[in-house]
Structure 1
Amino acid sequence: MDIVERFISYTKINTTTNRENGAAGIMPSSEGQRVLANQVGEELRALGLQDVQVSERAILTATLPANVNYPLPAVAFFGHLDTSAEQTTDTHAQILPYSGGDLCLNKQQNIYLRQSEFSELKDYIGDEIIVTDGTSLLGADDKAAIASIVNMIQYLVQHPEIKHGPVKVGLVPDEEQGLRGSKVFDVKTFGADFAYTLDCCGIGELVYENWNAGDAVIVFTGQSAHPMSAKGKLKNSLLMAHKFISMLPGGEAPEYTEGREGYYWVKQLQGNSAKTVLNMDVRDFTEQGYQQRMQFLKNLSESCAALWGEGSVKCTLSDRYANVFNSLQGESAYPIDIATQAYRNLNIEPKVTPMRGGYDGAALSQNGLPCPNVFTGAHNFHSIYEYLPVKSLRAASDVLVEIVKLTEQRFKP
Structure 2
Amino acid sequence: MNIVERFINYTRINTTTSRDKGAAGIMPSSPGQMELAILLKSELEELGMEDIVLRDTAILTATLPANTNKELPTVAFFAHLDTSAEQTNDTKANIVSYQGGDIVLNPALDIVLKEAEFPEIAQYQGQEIIVTDGTSLLGADDKAAIAAIMHALQVLTANPEIEHGPVKVAFLPDEEQGLRGAKAFDVESFGADFGYTLDCCGIGEFVHENWNAGNAVVTFTGQSAHPMSAKGKLKNALLMAHKFIAMLPPGEAPEYTEGREGYYWVKEMAGNSAKTVLKMDVRDFTRPGYAHRMAFLRQLADSCQALWGEGRIDIELSDRYENVANSLEGEAGFPINIAKQAYQRNGIEMRAIPMRGGYDGAVLSQKGLPCPNIFTGAHNFHSIYEYLPVNSLQAASNVVVDVIRITAEQYGK
Q: TM-score, normalised by structure 2?
A: 0.99
1:339-378: CA deviations, max 9, x gaps?
0110011100001000000110000000010001000000
1:207-246: CA deviations, max 9, x gaps?
0000000010001110111111111111111100000000
2:288 counterpart SS class: helix
Matched, 1:99 2:73: no
Give 1:183 shift: 1.0
The equivalences for 1:239-388 within 5 A come to 239-388=239-388
Opposite residue 333 of structure 2, the aligned amino acid is: A
Partners of 1:368 and 1:110 in 2: CA distance: 49
Give 1:200 shift: 2.1
Partners of 1:49 and 1:313 in 2: CA distance: 55
Partners of 2:32 and 2:310 in 1: CA distance: 49
8 Å CA contact retained: 2:377, 2:388 = yes
Partners of 2:70 and 2:409 in 1: CA distance: 12
The equivalences for 1:152-171 within 5 A come to 152-171=152-171
Partners of 2:22 and 2:296 in 1: CA distance: 30
Give 1:135 shift: 0.7
Partners of 1:227 and 1:131 in 2: CA distance: 58
8 Å CA contact retained: 1:208, 1:372 = yes
Partners of 2:204 and 2:50 in 1: CA distance: 31
TM superposition outliers: structure 1 runs of 4+ over 6 Å: none
1:4 counterpart SS class: helix
Partners of 1:261 and 1:134 in 2: CA distance: 33
Opposite residue 235 of structure 2, the aligned amino acid is: K
Partners of 1:28 and 1:288 in 2: CA distance: 36
The equivalences for 1:9-408 within 5 A come to 9-408=9-408
Opposite residue 321 of structure 1, the aligned amino acid is: Y
Partners of 1:139 and 1:351 in 2: CA distance: 23
Partners of 1:71 and 1:309 in 2: CA distance: 65
Give 1:309 shift: 1.2
8 Å CA contact retained: 2:200, 2:381 = no
Give 1:412 shift: 2.1
Partners of 1:159 and 1:221 in 2: CA distance: 66
8 Å CA contact retained: 1:221, 1:237 = yes
1:55-114: CA deviations, max 9, x gaps?
111100000000001211110000000101111111111111111111000000100100
Give 1:139 shift: 0.5
Partners of 1:225 and 1:262 in 2: CA distance: 40
8 Å CA contact retained: 1:263, 1:283 = yes
Opposite residue 319 of structure 1, the aligned amino acid is: D
Partners of 2:19 and 2:311 in 1: CA distance: 32
8 Å CA contact retained: 1:196, 1:361 = yes
Opposite residue 18 of structure 2, the aligned amino acid is: N
Partners of 2:263 and 2:24 in 1: CA distance: 29
2:176 counterpart SS class: helix
Q: TM-score, normalised by structure 1?
A: 0.99
2:199 counterpart SS class: strand
Partners of 1:74 and 1:58 in 2: CA distance: 23
8 Å CA contact retained: 2:82, 2:174 = yes
1:386-407: CA deviations, max 9, x gaps?
1000000000000000100000
Partners of 1:194 and 1:119 in 2: CA distance: 36
Opposite residue 217 of structure 1, the aligned amino acid is: V
Give 1:301 shift: 0.7
Opposite residue 120 of structure 1, the aligned amino acid is: E
Partners of 1:265 and 1:221 in 2: CA distance: 22
Give 1:127 shift: 0.6
8 Å CA contact retained: 1:200, 1:206 = no
Q: How many residues align?
A: 413
Partners of 2:253 and 2:265 in 1: CA distance: 6
Opposite residue 30 of structure 1, the aligned amino acid is: S
Ranges in structure 1 where 5+ consecutive residues have no aligned partner? none
Opposite residue 56 of structure 1, the aligned amino acid is: D
Opposite residue 34 of structure 1, the aligned amino acid is: M
1:200 counterpart SS class: coil
Partners of 1:215 and 1:189 in 2: CA distance: 29
Give 1:331 shift: 1.3
Partners of 1:329 and 1:207 in 2: CA distance: 14
Partners of 1:188 and 1:156 in 2: CA distance: 26
8 Å CA contact retained: 1:200, 1:207 = no
Partner of 2:3: 3
